[in-house]
Amino acid sequence: MATKLYQLFCDICNWKKITDGHDVENLQKYETSPIPTTIPKLEDNKIIPGKSQKQHKKFKCPQCGRLVISKIIEDTQSKLDEQMEAEARMKHRLEEEIKIKEDIKKRNKLSIREIPRRE
C-alpha cells in the first residue's frame, strides 16, 4: 500500500510543500480543538459526552506566517487500477457464465446415450 501524501499550501505567498507527515517537525503547529458533532446527553443522572470530529492539522507558513492547512493528496492511479481490475474480473465472470450456459444447452440437446460417461 502506498503511503499517504499531504500538501501544505499557502494562498497568500504561494508556499507549497508535499510531505508524508514525517518532515514537519520544523514547522510551527497550531493546536485545534475537535469540532462537536452531537450534544452531550443526560441518562440516569450520568452525562454521556457528545461525539466530536477532529480537524485537519494546521501549520504556520514559514514565509509569511499565515495559517496553512494540510490536505490529503489522493492516489488517483491506484483507484483507476482497481477499477480496471474490477471491470476485467466482471468481464471474465460474464464470459464464464455464457460458456456454462452454452455447455448446458449442448448437453440438453444430446440424448442420454450420446452423453460421454466419466470413468
Q: Could you list the pLDDT tens digit for every one of the 119 residues in the chain?
A: 467 788 888 888 888 888 887 887 888 888 888 898 999 899 888 999 889 998 888 888 888 888 888 888 877 777 888 889 999 999 999 999 999 988 888 887 765 556 666 66
Are 52 and 26 part of one and the same domain? yes
Are 86 and 69 part of one and the same domain? no
Are 18 and 69 part of one and the same domain? yes
Are 56 and 110 part of one and the same domain? no
Residue 2 · residue 78 · CB < 8 Å: yes
What residues have CB less than 8 Å from 24, skipping those under 6 apart? 8, 59
Residue 119 lies in a domain: no
**One-letter amino acid of 50:** G
Residue 88 lies in a domain: yes
Are 43 and 94 part of one and the same domain? no
Q: Which residues pair with 43 in a beta bridge?
A: 46
**pLDDT for 92:** 93
Are 67 and 14 part of one and the same domain? yes
Rounded distance between C-alpha atoms, residue 42 and residue 58, angstroms:
34
Residue 37 lies in a domain: yes
Residue 46 · residue 39 · CB < 8 Å: no
Are 66 and 20 part of one and the same domain? yes
Total domain count, the chain: 2
Which stretches does DSSP call E strand in the chain?
A: 5-9, 16-19, 29-30, 35-36, 41-43, 46-48, 52-53, 58-60, 67-73
Are 64 and 37 part of one and the same domain? yes
User: Domain limits at 69?
Assistant: 5-74
Residue 37 · residue 50 · CB < 8 Å: yes
